[in-house]
Structure 1
Amino acid sequence: MQKAALLIARWSGARRGEVIRLRLDCLDQYPDGTFRLRIHAGKTMRERLVPLHDDAARVLREVIQRRLEANDRPIRDDKTGDLVRYVFFRRSGRMSADYLLQYPLNQMCRLAGLVDQDGKPIVTSHRFRHTVGTQLAERGAKLHTIMSVLGHQTPHMSMVYARISDAEVLRDYRSVLGPGEMIAGPGAEAIRAGKLSCAAIDWLKSNFIKTELELGHCLRLPSEGPCECDLYLSCAKFVTTKAYAGRLQERRKLELVLAEDARERGWSKEVERHQSTASRIERLLKDLGEEADP
């Protein structure tokens, strides 16, 4: 039981309270076979589905199978009011987070010497959430993905993990603002000409991850107010890099498909709009040294 709980916490980023409330129907699979963990209403009172590592899924499946063979009756969940059967349950009731997570962690900390000057363990189960969030950020996950996995209601908490991964943010920052980098878009000229103010550069260094768009970055500063231009491909603040070449290619293909569809329907203005967008993307690709896909 404890091994399963620890592996779930490690690979899902679930909160302590969410782990102990997992139900017997919490494990299934995505269409591609990846295991999926169903985390029922927790701190945010919203159910969410997150991918689960095979190591955790295999152990969890064994626990679920043993629990299904037991004959205990469902009990009423104190948060939702539903009659449920929990994964981590014994005759006296639902197992505690301390028993499942913190007690075994304390033991491992002492064996590994991970204790403070008073001999107290320095690792808690909440560290697993930070690990999952940081790994997602460092491997390029979008903020909404981190929010979905960790169950955050606002992006502010997820931004913590983006800031933790300084090396990744710095690499992304340098790909746009570093000297000699290949960039394209209306905002590229301001960078090449050194027209960005010191204040603008300082803000971008600290908040660069917030500038990301689907196909590049927006260099608009908070003092300039919200962007009023949806067609950001032609916005003076837009800049993109070779890292977005694949997305640019896909977007161009989509625009061409939409243009053809509009042509068949006789919508001349829509044809012009989609072809114009495709042409802008082709110019961006050319500036990046990329050829548009046939």
Structure 2
Amino acid sequence: MSDVARVIPIGIESEGDAYISWLNEHTSPQFITLFIPPDPRGLYSRPPCPVVDCGRVSGSKTGLCGPHSKQYRDSGHQEMSVYLRNAVSRPVAKKKHGGYSAQGIFDLSACASPTVRAELQFAISCKASGDYGGPLRVDAFNAFVQSSNEVGVLSLRELTPGAPKTLALESRAGSYLSTHRMYVSEFQSWIELAEGNLSVKRRIGRRRGGSHRWSQSQDIIQPWLKEIVERWVAYRVNTEAANAQHIGQQESHVVEFAHWAESRKVRSEEEITRELLLDWLAEVNSQTNKKGKKYSGVYRASKVSAVSMMVEYARVEVTQRIPSNALYLPGELPARDTPSPRYLEPRLIDALRLPKNLNLVVDPSHRTAILIMMQVGLRSGHTCSLPFDCLIDLNRGDSTDKWALNFLDTKSDTNITVPIEPHVAIAIQEQRIRALEESAKLGLDVPEFLFANAQAHTTRQLGPERLNVTLRQWVVDLDLRDATGQLENITPHRFRHTFATEMLEKGVPIEVVQKLLGHRSLSSTQIYATTTDRRMRAEWENAKFVNVHGEAIEMADGPAGDAEWMLHRMAHAIQPLPNGACGLPIQQTCPHANACLDNCPHFITSSDFLPVHRAQHEEFERTISKAEAAGHLRIVEINKRPNENLKKIIDALEDESGE
């Protein structure tokens, strides 16, 4: 290793400087050095170039630094492992601004102020924890160090908005202006957070997909209310199992309440009364979305209950000045709306599943993720975070069509195994190869995720947000439109709803569907069952049914219609037939020994079974023709009557369908 790259511990320059001592106590010892090398994990910087002794940071899709990436392209894109064995490191000149960014080293030796150096070491240590966003740009960071020296910055806390040193620093930033402004803002915030000051913008935590959720409570105008909300959010983060996305959403509701309370001139805790809470309830119930539609009951309830939880916490933990009757009574929160169908109609889901349409998704990783969501009903977050070893082979002997997908449902905290079709298993196997290639760029031998992504240096996986963008573009490419001519809103959750609906329609027990979806409560799955029942009944009411003689059957309305529908569902569930359904109550025994077409008065069928009827009619014709040629008159007699009935059924159903 060169002298420049050698790690040299610094220690505390002045033991009398309590601030520097405090910063060093909160900094990981590995960062109290003059030169900090690239991070192999990709947390505080991009990973180093995998070429031995290169020292630069990776900076391209190949996972190599700039010079070696060019060398790799010039070699004809040979296999990466072969290239890495033969690649030779090459020296790099020091950049003009004095940093060693080309070599991937954070140069803190140039810091004229020991305080600034300690602050920057603390900042890099924060980044290394993985809780403070993506990696730093080494070139921009070293340029920031040099500019700080030129301006004479003694501490980052001097750099307040509009201050002379701040303006002078920004004038030297050039193309790094926005990055340097971000460094000043974030580094100052992290120091204040470490001191216990919650009144700064901060990251609450990481969403399921890997991105971070930022706080909003610092935007509250009332100081007393801001303190309550900040303490409540910190309490939620530190003591509850709720994820960052959920806590952040609740915080946004409370911040909205705070702005509304300010408009009502609420000036103290005593003014948070039950009357005010009821007015907030009325306000929420009157709100509409961008399309002018009233918010769902669940969303309105989440807004109201978040404020209720915050007020209850404040009364117990912060101040007793809030009136004891400032609460909601049971039954006052908005109720859940009647579930509305969110499944994709058969014409839509069938079109999306066509290989030629799926191939319009250019990125193969995105294409595989969408295929999994369509076939298995996974949430986008769970799909993107599927483990590398999620595929389970259930085949024995010569079998090749038994596969399953295994993953952890973080919402229910349960391990779920879902059977999948062979073509989905093949797509996953191909994705595993891509995951190995992506992980090699990060210097990992075994990928953690199926959808590994070398460009996401913090999460190392495909992000749900990026997947949603791909879905929207896919809909545009296919030009899928609804009845009003608007582009269809295709979302991962609609795939999930469609999967549940298809399973229930195929007769899969609701308890099994509950396990496949990872629902803790059967009531959650019942929403899909209710929607499925309404959909199937609507189709049943609009269908034309004929009996064994081809005569139309009119279904009753009202209670009689309900009874007919139940009889129809029971007939399909208990006595399924390949060409129709039996209308005989299940309590009775069929006297016809499955001779449904032989004038059975209970036989009912519809146009859904036309292909089966035609195939059966052809089989009857072949059987009768052979029997007549052989002189088997009894066989002719047995098959002639059901064949005649079948002709009547086909004629009647073809007239109805217009075929």
TM-score (norm 1): 0.53
Q: Which residue of 2 aligns with 1:144?
A: 511
Cα 1:84–1:62 change in 2 (3 A) is closer
Residue of structure 1 in register with 2:477 after alignment: 111
1:289 to partner: Cα distance: 4.3
- 1:231-267: per-residue Cα shift (whole Å, max 9, x none)? xxxxxxxxx95459xxxxxxxxxxxxxxxxxxxxxxx
Q: CA deviation at 1:161?
A: 2.3
Within 1, Cα distance between the matches of 2:477 and 2:447? 37
Distance 2:492 2:430 in 1: 22
Deviation of 1:18 (Å): 0.6
| Superposed displacement of residue 68, structure 1 | 3.2
Aligned partner of 1:4: which letter?
Answer: T
Query: Where do residues 1-294 of structure 1 align in structure 2 (5 Å cutoff)?
Result: 1-31=365-395, 33-68=401-436, 70-71=439-440, 72=442, 85-91=448-454, 92=457, 93-99=460-466, 101-114=467-480, 122-166=489-533, 170=537, 242=575, 287-289=589-591
- CA positional deviation for 1:114: 3.6
Equivalent AA in structure 1 for residue 529 of structure 2: A
Q: Distance in 2 between matches of 1:25 and 1:139?
A: 30
- For the 8 Å contact 1:133–1:161, the answer to whether it is kept is yes
Displacement of 1:123 after TM fit? 1.4
Give the superposed CA RMSD: 4.4
Are the counterparts in 1 of residues 435 and 447 from structure 2 also a CA contact under 8 Å? no
Q: 1:243 to 1:167 in 2, by over 3 A?
A: farther
CA contact (8 A) 1:27 1:36 kept: yes
Structure 1's 290 and 40: CA in aligned 2 closer, same or farther, altered over 3 A? Answer: farther
Deviations along 1:99-119, one digit per CA (max 9) or x if unpaired, are 1x3112111222233468897
Distance 2:485 2:561 in 1: 41
Secondary structure in 1 matching 2:413: coil
Aligned residue pairs total 197
CA contact (8 A) 1:27 1:57 kept: yes
Distance (whole Å) between structure 2 residues aligned to residue 26 and residue 36 of structure 1: 8
1:77-118 residue CA offsets vs partner (Å, 9 max, x unmatched): xxxxxx97011122222221121x311211122223346889
Q: Which runs of 5+ in 1 are unaligned?
A: 75-82, 175-179, 181-197, 218-239, 245-283
SS at match of 2:392: strand
Q: Is the 8 A contact 1:22 1:87 kept in 2?
A: yes
Structure 2: any 5+ residue segments left out of the alignment? Answer: 1-364, 542-546, 548-557, 578-585, 594-659
Paired letter, 2:469: Y
The CA distance in 1 between the partners of 2:435 and 2:574, in whole Å, is 52
Flag the structure with larger Rg: 2
Cα offset, 1:147, TM superposition: 0.9
Aligned residue in 1 for 2:127 = none
Residues 259-285 of structure 1 show CA distances to partners (whole Å, capped at 9, x for unaligned) of: xxxxxxxxxxxxxxxxxxxxxxxxx89
Q: Which amino acid counterpart does residue 62 of structure 1 have in structure 2?
A: E
Q: Which amino acid aligns with 2:381?
A: G
Deviation at 1:286, TM superposition (A): 7.4
Percent identity of equivalent pairs: 21
How many angstroms does 1:41 deviate by? 3.3
Report the residue type matching 2:407 in the other structure.
I
Secondary structure of the residue aligned to 1:287 is coil
Q: Displacement of 1:67 after TM fit? A: 2.1
State the distance in 1 between where 2:523 and 2:381 align.
21
Deviation string for 1:10-49 (max 9, x for gaps)?
A: 1111111110110111012224641211122321111100
1:44/1:153 contact within 8 Å kept:
yes
Amino acid at match of 1:48: I
Contact 2:500 2:513 in 1 (8 A): yes
SS at match of 1:65: helix
Shift of 1:121: 5.5
Distance (whole Å) between structure 2 residues aligned to residue 73 and residue 139 of structure 1: 46
Does structure 2 retain, via aligned residues, the 8 Å contact 1:163–1:169? no
Deviation at 1:164, TM superposition (A): 2.6
Counterpart amino acid of 1:111? D
